[in-house]
Structure formats: C-alpha cells, structure tokens
Amino acid sequence: MTRDRSRGRAGSARDADSFFGAAEDRKVERKERQLCRQVQEAVSEALAGIEDDVLLEVWVADVEPAPDAGRLAVIVQAPRGASPDEVAARLENVAGYLRAEVASAITRKRVPTLTFRVLPPETGGIS
C-alpha cells in the first residue's frame, strides 16, 4: 500500500514560503547578533592592548549592524575627563588596527567596516 504524497500540498507552498522565509530571517538575525558579540569582544581586547591612556579607559558598550553586517557601528563610552570628540579622533587613528584584530578573531570571507559612535562619559555619582 502506497501513500499519495501529493495530498494536502496544494495550499502548502504559499505557507511554506512564508514559514521558511521567517525562519531564514531569524537565522540571519541570530548570525548578525553572534557576529556583533564577537566583534565587541575583539575590539574590547584590542583596546586593552593599546598604549593610549584615553583608549585604555574606553568601554565598548555595544556593536550593532549599520545598516547590515557589512558595516558595524561600535558604540563606546568615553571615560571621565575625555571629550567624545577626542575619543572619536583617537579611535579613527587606530581603526585599521582594530579592524585587523577583528579579522583575526572572526571567521568570515569579508571583514566588516567599523564605524564608531562615542557616548559622553557617565556623570553618575553621589550629589
């Protein structure tokens, strides 16, 4: 006894495309988040190895696709006593080094371009 495999598939092509399309989107998002996490770790480690008093105290807050995984925005927190413009200028000076460190830390055919956004220093404390 053989089963008729064509039964029930007439309307399933449309449903399958929408289902698997959503699964593919989730997979891409997961891969982008994974890449951002790897880049955040690599940039943090690379900044710790740079002999620059200002960049030594910079904290990598987040990395996000800008607009996709081909270009990543590295969001850093400026240390107290340093202006965001000064930190941005110093980061631009070492951008090539940071990208090379990212290239050695990830496994991808193309290394993403890094852009930097510098947040002002936190002004928290007891008043």
Q: 24-70 pLDDT, tens per residue?
A: 777 778 888 999 999 999 999 999 999 999 999 999 999 999 888 88
* CATH entry, 13-119, from 3.30.70.20, 3.90.1150.10, 3.40.50.11900, 3.30.300.20: 3.30.300.20
In this model, does residue 110 exceed pLDDT 50? yes
CA distances from 104 to 13, 20, 98, 108, 122 (A): 42, 33, 10, 10, 32
Q: Which tokens in the block code for residue 25?
A: 């989107």
Average pLDDT over residues 111-122: 92
| HSE-CB of 120 using CA atoms within 13 angstroms | 2
What number of other Cβ atoms are within 10 A of residue 10's Cβ? 8
CB under 8 Å to 37, separation ≥6 — which residues?
Answer: 63
Average pLDDT over residues 1-9: 56
Q: What are the domain boundaries of the chain?
A: 13-119
